Structure 1
Amino acid sequence: MKKAKIITAAVLAATLLMGAGYASWNDNVKIKNSVETGTFNVSFDKDNCWVLPSDSLVNADMNKIESDNLYSTLKDTKTLEVTLKNMYPGSEVCVNTVMKNYGSIPAKFDNVEVSGPTGDNGLIQDLEVPFLYGYIEHKNGTVSSLPDVDSKGPIKLSQLQAKMNNLLSNVILQPGDTLKLQKSNNNKNNNSGIAVEDHFNIELPKDSTNITQNKEAKFDITISWKQVD
């Protein structure tokens, strides 16, 4: 009987010790998980996208451009509608297209779609883009020029989509980076703070005939992005 009591006491003591060990484990080990997803958002900068005749930019008050701008409409965050009107042989329209990575993860260029153009066929066939270059303005203030790809102009408006897809094919925008397209490759010293032009031009050549008088054309530029693999 005494031996049985000793065994029972030993088993009870062992059980209590195991319970104490279990309690100790639960009291001292705490695991807390926190998961946050990133944001993907590359959009046109609505305050810096506009289309205006080049002669209207001479001594222009840039603060009034948005209210005076009757040549473009942002249909959504990735689509800019461009209207070409009141042009004459030798005139140009400046297209300011600025896209920024407002998200928290890198974005890779997917494709450009130039839909249309609609309007007068004679005007559409005559319109040209003299030159097209691009650069990235990084969050830290430095600037990187995009590699020149078939930069010799002019190209016809009908070739703009292929040209833009070629130019932007390898572009990756880090969070806070801004993409700008321009009419010249004047980017040599802008890492030291020298400003560059933020627009490219569409022109009606000087040899255009009278059939383009009082005509209008419209087209959309849609620039799409995807997540970096």
Structure 2
Amino acid sequence: MKKTKFLVLVLVVSIMLVGAGYAYWDQTLTIKNTVETGYLDVSFIDYDDDDWDDFPELCNSDLVTTNAIISPDGQSLDFTVTNFYPGAGASLAFVVENTGTVAAKIETVTGTILNNTALANALNYKFDQVVRKPIIGPLTYEAIDAVDADNVDDLAAGLTNALKNIVIQPGEKLMLRTSNILLPNGTEAPNYQILMPDTISGSQFEDTTTSFRLSLKFIQVNY
């Protein structure tokens, strides 16, 4: 009887030892990652609705009127010039804002004539400078490759080339302008981006209106 009890005891101990050999503590560490993507959003904004501190007002020659209409999605600008005459100039309110969360730059500019192709392609278009307005800080001026176009297609191509390396940071506004130029008659025409050549004479284009659209395609900037 004692021998039997001994064997049972040995068996129980053996099982315990085997369990000790195979049992172990375990712990799982979990890392929760959240990735939030940024978004690209650049659009035209109304010059009159923005606060350009100490910035010269856009100007037109006497009696010339301009009207800029921004599309609901902010991706295109329809520009109309009325009462133009030979030797006159007008300013194009060209302001964009990066309301997204990633840096952006212009890939292409497209020009579409909406009314009176002959007149739109008889005008002269000039741009040579951009003005940056950061969220905080003063305005800064940057020279770009001068755009001097005699038709809307050349205007779009010139803007595409001149602006291809201009990066717009989130929250930044950018205005396209022209530095002071001299008209053929020797007078200074500050900030005129559109001019009617004084070589146009007679009744050519008299009592007519032209409209054209500029559309911008932006892409994100990868550093």
Q: Is the structural similarity TM-score above 0.5?
A: yes
Alignment match, 1:191: none
Name the stretch that deviates more: 101-110 or 130-139. 130-139
Q: SS of 1:82's equivalent?
A: strand
Q: SS of 1:176's equivalent?
A: coil
More helix by share: 1
Q: Which one of 87, 90, 95 corresponds to residue 93 of structure 1? A: 90
Tell me the CA shift for residue 86 of structure 1.
1.5
Tell me the CA shift for residue 12 of structure 1.
3.3
Q: Does 1:54 align with 2:60?
A: yes
CA 150–95 in structure 1, closer or farther in 2 if over 3 Å, else same = closer
Matches for 1:79-118 after TM superposition, within 5 Å: 79-116=76-113, 118=115
Q: Give the CA RMSD over aligned residues.
A: 3.0
TM-score w.r.t. length of structure 1: 0.72
Tell me the CA shift for residue 127 of structure 1.
1.1
Alignment match, 2:40: 40
Q: Which one of 11, 14, 17 corresponds to residue 18 of structure 2? A: 11
Tell me the CA shift for residue 205 of structure 1.
2.4
Q: Which whole-Å CA distance do the structure 2 matches of 1:119 and 1:178 have between them? A: 32
Q: Which amino acid aligns with 1:224?
A: K
Q: SS of 2:111's equivalent?
A: strand
Alignment match, 2:166: 171
Alignment match, 1:156: 150
Tell me the CA shift for residue 45 of structure 1.
1.6
Check whether the contact 1:147–1:167 (CA below 8 A) recurs between aligned residues.
Answer: no
For residues 26-59 of structure 1, give each alpha carbon's deviation from its aligned partner in whole angstroms, at most 9, with x where no partner exists.
4xx3422211111211111235489x871479xx
Tell me the CA shift for residue 174 of structure 1.
1.4
Check whether the contact 1:106–1:228 (CA below 8 A) recurs between aligned residues.
Answer: yes
Alignment match, 2:54: none
Stretches of 4+ aligned residues off by more than 4 angstroms: 47-50
Check whether the contact 1:109–1:168 (CA below 8 A) recurs between aligned residues.
Answer: yes
Tell me the CA shift for residue 78 of structure 1.
1.6
**Identity fraction in percent:** 24
Q: Does 1:78 align with 2:75?
A: yes
The size of the alignment, in residue pairs, is 196
CA 80–168 in structure 1, closer or farther in 2 if over 3 Å, else same = same
Alignment match, 1:184: 179
Q: Which whole-Å CA distance do the structure 2 matches of 1:112 and 1:182 have between them? A: 16
Q: Which whole-Å CA distance do the structure 1 matches of 2:211 and 2:164 have between them? A: 25
Mark the runs of 5 or more structure 2 residues left unpaired by the alignment: 1-6, 51-57, 182-189
Q: Which whole-Å CA distance do the structure 2 matches of 1:14 and 1:222 have between them? A: 74
Q: Which one of 197, 210, 216 corresponds to residue 217 of structure 1? A: 210
For residues 114-159 of structure 1, give each alpha carbon's deviation from its aligned partner in whole angstroms, at most 9, with x where no partner exists.
11253151x23431124432233333324444343145x5x31332
Tell me the CA shift for residue 14 of structure 1.
4.7
Q: Does 1:136 align with 2:132?
A: yes
CA 141–168 in structure 1, closer or farther in 2 if over 3 Å, else same = same
Tell me the CA shift for residue 169 of structure 1.
1.6
Q: Which amino acid aligns with 1:103?
A: G
Q: Which amino acid aligns with 1:54?
A: N
Check whether the contact 1:109–1:224 (CA below 8 A) recurs between aligned residues.
Answer: yes
CA 214–130 in structure 1, closer or farther in 2 if over 3 Å, else same = same
